[in-house]
Amino acid sequence: MGIKRFLSAGLLMAGIMALFFGCDKEITEEGTPVVDGSNGKLLSLTASAQDFINMETGTRASESGTTLSFQSGDEIGVFGVKNGSLVCNNLRFTTTNGSTWSGPETYHESGTTYFAYYPYEAGMNGKTSLAAIQSEFESRLNGNPDQSSQANYMTYSKLLVSTSGSVSPSGDRLSFRFKHALAMVEVVLPDKLEGTMSANGKNFPLYTPSSLSITASFSLSSTSVSFYNISGKTYRRVVKPGTGLNFKATLCNAFNYTDNSTVNAGSYKKFTLGNVSETIRIGDFAYGKNSGTLAFYPGSTTTDAPDKDNCIGVVATVGNQYNRSDSYTHGTVVAKNDCPTGFWVFENGVDRSAIVNSYSPKAPSGTTGWYLPGKAELYYLCTGRYDSSFDAKPGDAPSDNRVTAMKKTLNSFFAKSGGNAWADSSVDRYIAGSSAAYSEYDYILFFGVGSFGLTTSANHARLCFAF
């Protein structure tokens, strides 16, 4: 048994016509009213129901072009209340064909109000109001039960309640109008992500290769929940009505959508996800090699960068952290790999152009192009500490020189970008770009400990560009 989906359109009209006999004020222990034809007329019963209604547009939620309909064997429970006391206690009516219903013989008593629900349960006996049934149905969503399968989703979406049953002026017809007892959330995923990444007031394209698979995860009140994939890229979940959703959808482990709308019983909220806008952060992946267009994708230490072969580096700073005097004030990207060879250098200078020219791929257009980071910048890339007035001589360093937090942070993103971690043994050192102070020296930074020295042998080199 259970509500079945039949091809049709518009409002579900269940055309439930049956001889429904009114209730007498006396009820047996089993809950069946005593027949007393003197109290009223036989009632013919009609019922209709509607699917979830979009809370914003008023349109109904179609499930693959179908609407609700009862099927053979379905059972509803009917109650009658007069002066606060039950005169019909959870009477069970059963349909054999979806339109004709049979149940206990009773008669209508003037002043009785009626309500009903679906599907019938013996445990509903004694409910004196529709609100009591509503509360029972809502409690079944406690603990965020699984709704990933059609069967599990339908367990909750099929719960129906009637508005107050109305008796016709002639006293011989009782009409019920069923609606969903709970609410529903629908999420439609995009075919392709589109959007922008911004830094310091400037927008850059979001990098979205065709190979990017659109994945999604969902949560309610910070608790992960499952949704039923009803078709294609459409997902649904039944939720409690009347309270803020505290809903969050995360696309591709990177883009978050949040909403705290309140959805009433019988209604649904639809989220169509697609265009995204994110702020560039440290660890984001950069693209646009060989003078291509600079684009970004949110970095992750748990998920690989999309299209790693075309990822050229990782964002190390956002904003004009180095007090640049040119137009490149939005941030800095550090290459995901070292330059291919070390350079034997001494105190009389390094051929920095040869180092830069040795690196491939070329930097994106609209950037500074690759360069060797200066002394203070290199120190920041290792330690995460920056001071524009920093001016240590070779062999000197601030008291926190062994703090290497930024190096470790960037390493976690390099691994996901397809690049290599900083070389940081006790003898590994990186060469810095020119420095105004002590310009007769070429500085190196021991990445294992964060202290400076002079260039006296082959050193690692890793490049940056500003954007």
Percentage of the residues of the chain whose pLDDT score is greater than 70? 75
Residue 303 CA to residue 396 CA, distance in Å, equals: 39
Structure tokens at 378: 């290199």
pLDDT in tens, 267-294: 999 999 988 989 999 999 999 998 999 9
Least confident among 17-31, 142-156, 316-330: 17-31
Query: Could you check whether 43-181 and 185-279 share the same CATH topology?
Result: yes
Lowest mean pLDDT, pick from 66-70, 342-346, 384-388: 342-346
CATH match for 43-181 among 1.20.58.340, 3.40.50.300, 2.60.40.2620, 1.10.3130.10: 2.60.40.2620
CA pair distance 371, 378, nearest whole angstrom? 11
The predicted pLDDT at position 94 comes to 86
One-letter amino acid for residue 458 of the chain: A
Residue 427 backbone dihedrals phi, psi, to 5 degrees? -110, -5
Which residues have a Cβ under 8 Å from the Cβ of 220 and sit 6 or more positions away?
Answer: 144, 239, 245, 246, 247, 248
Nearest by Cα to 453 from 398, 397, 377: 397
Tell me which range, 225-229, 288-292, 419-423, is most confidently predicted by mean pLDDT: 225-229
Q: Domain boundaries in the chain?
A: 43-181, 185-279, 284-466
CB of 110 closer than 8 Å to CB of 117: no
Name every residue whose Cβ is closer than 8 Å to that of residue 192 and which is 6 or more positions away in sequence: 208, 210, 212, 214
Q: What is the dihedral of CA 109, 114, 120, 126, to 10 degrees?
A: -80
- Other Cβ atoms closer than 10 A to 89: 22
For residues 248-269, average pLDDT: 94
Per-residue pLDDT tens over the stretch 39-84 = 566 666 777 778 899 988 877 776 554 467 777 888 999 999 998 8
**Quick one: which of 375, 410, 189, 433 has its CA closest to 286?**
410
Query: How many other CB atoms are found less than 10 A from the CB of residue 212?
Result: 14
What's the CATH fold of domain 185-279? Immunoglobulin-like (2.60.40)
User: Are 152 and 175 a contacting pair, CB within 8 Å?
Assistant: no
Alpha helices in 127-219 (DSSP H): 130-139, 150-157
Is the predicted pLDDT of residue 356 greater than 80, yes or no?
Answer: yes
**Rounded distance between C-alpha atoms, residue 446 and residue 67, angstroms:** 70
The candidate with the shortest Cα–Cα distance to 319, out of 293, 280, 354, is 280
Task: Report the 10 Å Cβ neighbour count for 438.
Answer: 14
